[in-house]
Structure 1
Amino acid sequence: MAAPLSAWPWENFGNFKYLLCGPLAAKVLHSWIYEGTIKDLWCFHVLLICVLRGFLHQLWNCYSNMLFLTRNRRIIQQGVDFKQIDREWNWDNFIILQALLASMACLIFPSLASLPLWNPKGFVTLLLLHVSVSEPLYYWAHRFLHESYLFTNYHLLHHSSPVLHPYTAGHATFLEHLILCVVIGIPMAGSILMGYGSTSMVYGYLAAFDFLRCLGHSNVEVVPHELFNKLPFLRYILYTPTYHSLHHSQMGTNFCLFMPLFDALGNTLNSNSWQLHRKISSDSVKNGRVPDFVFLAHVVDMTSAMHVPFIFRSFSSVPFSTRIFLLPFLPLAFLFMLVMWGWSKVFLLAFYNLRGHLHQTWVVPRFGFQYFLPFAMKGINKHIEEAILRADRIGVKVISLAALNKNEALNGGGTLFVEKHPELKVRVVHGNTLTAAVILNEIPKDVEEVFLTGATSKLGRAIALHLCRRRVRVLMLTLSTERFQKIQREAPVDCQNYLVQVTKYQAARNCKTWIVGKWITPREQNWAPSGTHFHQFVVPPVLAFRRDCTYGDLAAMRLPDDVQGLGSCEYTMERGVVHACHAGGVVHQLEGWTHHEVGAIDVDRIDLVWDAAMKHGLRPVSSA
């Protein structure tokens, strides 16, 4: 049974918890619409403060997850994983709680609704009360919460987050936030009772309080150590992210709210606080740990661009789908797109650890539609080339090209860069060998005939050649007899008759296994007989038009269970699932292979790559 006041009263409400603030919104809208003015202005202020506090936490979330800015300033290098994201899903409960308490206070004391806009004496009084009352009160309450019973039943939840994040600041039990309400409320109530209160004081204090809480939980050291060298007394006045992170790793120290002075007075100041802060701050100008593997991705469109971890953490932690709430943010996404084009740098987007190897995702600042503009190809290849050279320069072992970054018409599946820079130490990989293996292993062993569209593409060729070796008859849809015959000649002589050229979809009206490598319309799907299964390696996936047929997903693999720090989904993939070409690069790096995987797929290596993926714990999604 849960301890009293450990659970939130609206714990089971889900997103309906926001309706608790509904009466405030209804009162504001009613008076505005029917009376032409907002009669009870305090309702509006409470709602606005809630919005601003949420926005402040969101801004800190954006900054702390911008790895391209913060990677060398991170205190704990591990990423925030899905488990922590789910635990902290309701981090904003405290905003609702304080809004409800503020509303009750305004109803009980109507004079609170008529505070002046500005009173400088209120800020001085507020500061004195915070330092003399709130800081020591929080310090002793915090130490008390670390006692055995209280820690286990109340404070352990806050310490359950292995990597600090701005949302971790609000992740605590109901009792803890009741105590925090007292800590916050005393300075404001005291100033108001003394007659010095003002609206700007309330806004300013809450903004500063939340800002400093987010600062301490950001996991990014932003306070320069030179500041403390020049003004040593400041280290007792203002804590740093490093200082607070030590409390979470060495819990018997650093209990203060914002001022280490009280830890010094209480003899709980961690002796390593300043040295560690100086080290992390000094090392921020150096390059951090070099990744062993890089996956070079690109943005699909402006909507999917908002699926990156530094925008909405909760959104990026679930498979991408277009949501209505994203539409108002499209103008911002467009502006950010312009910034990306103007900056023209490859961004570090996300990272995870697998078997002690650091894997990173970099993103080329180009959107999917640009890859089909002839005049844009040169610029895109330049960005990809710069990313490869940068990876080579810093010591990356493998760089894998995602989606259109390895387009045959763009750079020959990466061949362009390998031929231009034969001295590359980093291995360039398109990962399509494993993509082919995933598709081939989805096809039942007893299948005798398949219909293949996109038959002369890189993947289509490899799939056709592998299947004919299995004595499977492959109906290859292509109008180019020359390209078909070229592929047919690559097959063993005794298998060549299993490759059959067809020029119309009607040829597959009796074939129940379709492998789709070129987008097909609903009308073209109609030629498939009832019960057909559509395997596919086409982007975007074909529309699931036929109800009497089944449709496979894009080739993908589930990463091993021991992956660490993975907290965002790869586009439309489920949690822990990556595209097969991504997984192909991972296998290349884990195996330590020293060849480039570019250009045409080596059919002889398909089974070898598949076995290596199984050995390292990767699993196809269909059997996961």
Structure 2
Amino acid sequence: MAATLSAWPWENLGPFKYLLFGPFLAKVLYSRIQGDIKDTWCLHILIICALRGFIYQLWTSYGNMLFISRNRRIIQQGVDFKQIDKEWHWDNFIILQALTASMASYMFPVLSSLPLWNTRGFIATLILHMGVSEPLYYLAHKYFHGNYLFAHYHSLHHSSEVPQPFTAGNATFLEYLGLTAVIGIPILGCCLIGYGSISMIYGYALLFDFLRCLGHCNVEIVPHQMFETFPFLRYLLYTPTYHSLHHTEMGTNYCLFMPLYDALGDTLNTKSWELHKKISLDSRKNGRVPDFVFLAHGVDLTSAMHAPFLLRSLGSKPFTIKIFLLPFWPCVFVVMLLMWAKSKTFLFSFYNLRGRLHQTWAVPRFGFQYFLPFARKGINKQIEEAILRADRLGVKVISLAALNKNEALNGGGTLFVNKHPNLKVRVVHGNTLTAAVILNEISEDVKEVFLTGATSKLGRAIALYLCRRRVRVLMLTLSTERFQMIQTEAPMDYQNYLVQVTKYQAAQNCKNWIVGKWITPREQSWAPSGAHFHQFVVPPIFAFRRDCTYGDLAAMKLPDDVEGLGSCEYTMERGVVHACHAGGVVHSLEDWTHHEVGAIDVDRIDVVWKAAIKHGLRPVSNVTKQNQLQKKIS
């Protein structure tokens, strides 16, 4: 049973908790309708709440912009899904303090008639904060580290392994009742002595949140030279490193913002400033070199807002179009133009697997740009620069995402390997495992499949593999020459299993479609009822037929022991990555020294598949849905 006042009163409301702001909005609208422009207290509460949430979001975005902050991170571990879910309702305290401010306005009418500015108020607030709030917080915080209070209340806050700005809000109801008093004392005290002002309330509340985020951001941005020049400042302002030590070595560094009280209370961690200086100096150096890099790219403007450094909660779930994001579309478009003009590959996310660091870098280009003839040279240049950068750093394997290895763009990576024959980093397109995933979705008893995109790299490999299994492959292609080239690669005894077709009508009795080229709803209509669409086409085809089933893009689930993974890869579920990404992971874990570019080696499909299974990667497919539908139809 939960301890008294540990749970939030509106915990069961979920997202409907924001309706608690409804009375404030109603009051503002009513005041405007009545023409009472003096009654603005509810409006100020709403504005302050919005600004406070925005501050926490900005700090979180900055901390997760690894391309900026990676060398200044204090705890190198990534934020995983478990922590994100635990901190999902981090903003409960904003609601609490909004309700408290509303109650205070009725109890103390002076709050509703404050001037815009009062210089004395800022001085009085500073004195009250330093002389009352700081020592009160210190004593209360230290008390919450006692056995009973820590176990029943404060342990929730310390359960987050990597401090983030949102971690500051992840606490129990009782804790924030106390912290609300700590914030309220300077504001209310200043107002009651006649020095209060609207600007003072805004300034103190927002600065309080700013400093809270600073301490929890896990990125050291305070220069150590400042403390060396002015030593007394180290007792007046804490640093992210200082507060991080409180999370890793509890029993020290209890202060709110001023280490002075830890020094007076003999709870100052002696490593605080030495570690701060070390991290500050090390920020000029490159951090740990990853073993594996996945070179991703944007799909479209809307999905770009799925980046984990924008909205962490959104990025932790499979991508879907959210209506509330549409107003931000013009902003993303402007950013796209800036990136198009001048941009570099950036670090997107990272995770640890089997003690090896895996990073995702991203080329700042979106899907449609890859099909613009005049953009290809620039895109190849950025991919090449990323490969050379990985080579200089000592990365072992770099895997190319779907469009970054487009055959028409660079021959599946062949262009870079031929241009730089002395590369130490292994360039991998990952298509061998993609082919393996698709092929292992097809039941052993299947005797015929229909294949579009039949002469592509994947189409060719799938066709050659299936014909060896004595599966009849209807290859949709208008190019007889390309079909014959593939057919001659098959052993003589199996060549007759490859059949060229030029129209979709040829597959009207085939229940296994392998889609490697985008097909329209009209073209899908030729499939018989109960058909299943396997696919390796980007973007995926529309699920138009209700009497058929549709497979996801080829993907694999990472092993359960992966650490620090906190974002979903596009539309994939948590812990699931595209097969080409997984192919690079396997290449790295196996320490293979060859490049995997150009045409797929059909003989290695089973080798790569067995290696993936050996390392704990598991296939993800919708084959079960197909079986269920076929049983239902029969």
Could you tell me whether the CA contact under 8 Å between 1:451 and 1:511 is conserved in 2? yes
Q: Find the counterpart in structure 1 of residue 196 from structure 2.
A: 197
- The residue identity in structure 2 corresponding to 1:30 is Y
Answering whether residue 28 of structure 2 is matched by residue 28 of structure 1, we say: yes
Q: Find the counterpart in structure 1 of residue 9 from structure 2.
A: 9
Q: Find the counterpart in structure 1 of residue 597 from structure 2.
A: 598
- The residue identity in structure 1 corresponding to 2:573 is E
Could you tell me whether the CA contact under 8 Å between 1:429 and 1:597 is conserved in 2? yes
Q: Secondary structure at the match of 2:427?
A: strand
Q: Find the counterpart in structure 2 of residue 421 from structure 1.
A: 420
Uncovered stretches (5+) of structure 1, i.e. residues with no partner: none
Could you tell me whether the CA contact under 8 Å between 2:345 and 2:363 is conserved in 1? yes
- The residue identity in structure 1 corresponding to 2:167 is T
- The residue identity in structure 2 corresponding to 1:271 is T
Answering whether residue 346 of structure 2 is matched by residue 364 of structure 1, we say: no
Deviation of the 1:36 alpha carbon: 4.2
Q: Find the counterpart in structure 1 of residue 546 from structure 2.
A: 547
Task: Return the alpha-carbon distance in structure 1 between the equivalents of residues 225 and 155 of structure 2.
Answer: 35
Residues 305-344 of structure 1: pairs in structure 2 closer than 5 A: 305-344=304-343
Q: Find the counterpart in structure 1 of residue 239 from structure 2.
A: 240
CA deviations over 1:174-226 (Å, ceiling 9, x no partner): 00000001111111111111111111100000011000000000000000111
Residues 51-66 of structure 1: pairs in structure 2 closer than 5 A: 51-66=50-65
Deviation of the 1:332 alpha carbon: 1.8
Deviation of the 1:340 alpha carbon: 2.1
Q: Secondary structure at the match of 2:365?
A: strand
Q: Secondary structure at the match of 1:127?
A: helix
Deviation of the 1:525 alpha carbon: 1.2
Residues 450-529 of structure 1: pairs in structure 2 closer than 5 A: 450-529=449-528
Residues 57-456 of structure 1: pairs in structure 2 closer than 5 A: 57-456=56-455
CA deviations over 1:79-129 (Å, ceiling 9, x no partner): 100000000000000000000000011122222111011111111111111
Could you tell me whether the CA contact under 8 Å between 2:110 and 2:191 is conserved in 1? no
Deviation of the 1:585 alpha carbon: 0.4
Question: After the TM superposition, which of the residue ranges 85-94 and 516-525 deviates more from structure 2?
Answer: 516-525
Q: Find the counterpart in structure 2 of residue 585 from structure 1.
A: 584
- The residue identity in structure 1 corresponding to 2:385 is E
Could you tell me whether the CA contact under 8 Å between 2:554 and 2:621 is conserved in 1? no
Q: Secondary structure at the match of 1:295?
A: strand
CA deviations over 1:389-431 (Å, ceiling 9, x no partner): 0000010000000010000000000000000000000000000
Q: How many residues align?
A: 623
Q: Find the counterpart in structure 1 of residue 563 from structure 2.
A: 564
Deviation of the 1:486 alpha carbon: 0.4
Task: Return the alpha-carbon distance in structure 2 between the equivalents of residues 466 and 90 of structure 1.
Answer: 50
Deviation of the 1:38 alpha carbon: 3.6
- The residue identity in structure 2 corresponding to 1:198 is S
After superposition, the Cα gap between the structure-2 partners of 1:193 and 1:36, relative to the gap in structure 1 and judged at 3 Å, is closer
- The residue identity in structure 2 corresponding to 1:11 is E
Deviation of the 1:31 alpha carbon: 2.4
Deviation of the 1:30 alpha carbon: 2.4
Task: Return the alpha-carbon distance in structure 1 between the equivalents of residues 328 and 515 of structure 2.
Answer: 35
Q: Find the counterpart in structure 2 of residue 607 from structure 1.
A: 606
- The residue identity in structure 2 corresponding to 1:57 is Y
Could you tell me whether the CA contact under 8 Å between 2:396 and 2:588 is conserved in 1? yes
Task: Return the alpha-carbon distance in structure 1 between the equivalents of residues 108 and 260 of structure 2.
Answer: 35
TM-score, structure 2 length as denominator? Answer: 0.97
Task: Return the alpha-carbon distance in structure 2 between the equivalents of residues 79 and 488 of structure 1.
Answer: 48
- The residue identity in structure 1 corresponding to 2:502 is T
Q: Find the counterpart in structure 1 of residue 575 from structure 2.
A: 576
Deviation of the 1:509 alpha carbon: 1.2
Task: Return the alpha-carbon distance in structure 2 between the equivalents of residues 403 and 166 of structure 1.
Answer: 34
Task: Return the alpha-carbon distance in structure 2 between the equivalents of residues 509 and 207 of structure 1.
Answer: 65
Could you tell me whether the CA contact under 8 Å between 2:110 and 2:192 is conserved in 1? no
Deviation of the 1:162 alpha carbon: 0.1
Could you tell me whether the CA contact under 8 Å between 1:28 and 1:38 is conserved in 2? no
TM-score, structure 1 length as denominator? Answer: 0.99
CA deviations over 1:335-362 (Å, ceiling 9, x no partner): 2223323441101010000001101111
Task: Return the alpha-carbon distance in structure 2 between the equivalents of residues 610 and 525 of structure 1.
Answer: 30
Q: Secondary structure at the match of 2:11?
A: coil
Deviation of the 1:27 alpha carbon: 1.3
Could you tell me whether the CA contact under 8 Å between 1:302 and 1:334 is conserved in 2? yes
Task: Return the alpha-carbon distance in structure 2 between the equivalents of residues 125 and 226 of structure 1.
Answer: 30
Task: Return the alpha-carbon distance in structure 1 between the equivalents of residues 62 and 601 of structure 2.
Answer: 43
CA deviations over 1:315-342 (Å, ceiling 9, x no partner): 1110111111101111221222233234
- The residue identity in structure 1 corresponding to 2:31 is S
Task: Return the alpha-carbon distance in structure 1 between the equivalents of residues 282 and 45 of structure 2.
Answer: 42
- The residue identity in structure 1 corresponding to 2:5 is L
CA deviations over 1:18-46 (Å, ceiling 9, x no partner): 111101101112222x2345452001000
Query: Stretches of 4+ moved more than 6 A in 1?
Result: none
CA deviations over 1:220-269 (Å, ceiling 9, x no partner): 00001111111111111100000000000110100000000100000000
Task: Return the alpha-carbon distance in structure 2 between the equivalents of residues 339 and 205 of structure 1.
Answer: 36
Q: Secondary structure at the match of 2:571?
A: coil
Task: Return the alpha-carbon distance in structure 2 between the equivalents of residues 36 and 469 of structure 1.
Answer: 82
Could you tell me whether the CA contact under 8 Å between 1:452 and 1:514 is conserved in 2? yes
- The residue identity in structure 2 corresponding to 1:67 is L
Q: Find the counterpart in structure 1 of residue 632 from structure 2.
A: none
CA deviations over 1:526-558 (Å, ceiling 9, x no partner): 111111111111111111111111111100000
Task: Return the alpha-carbon distance in structure 2 between the equivalents of residues 168 and 620 of structure 1.
Answer: 34
CA deviations over 1:447-481 (Å, ceiling 9, x no partner): 01111111001000000000001111111111111
CA deviations over 1:489-534 (Å, ceiling 9, x no partner): 0001111111111111111111111111111111111111111111
Task: Return the alpha-carbon distance in structure 2 between the equivalents of residues 355 and 159 of structure 1.
Answer: 26
Deviation of the 1:60 alpha carbon: 0.4
Q: Secondary structure at the match of 2:553?
A: coil
Question: After the TM superposition, which of the residue ranges 91-100 and 499-508 deviates more from structure 2?
Answer: 499-508
Task: Return the alpha-carbon distance in structure 2 between the equivalents of residues 353 and 570 of structure 1.
Answer: 16
Task: Return the alpha-carbon distance in structure 1 between the equivalents of residues 155 and 564 of structure 2.
Answer: 21
Task: Return the alpha-carbon distance in structure 1 between the equivalents of residues 620 and 180 of structure 2.
Answer: 47
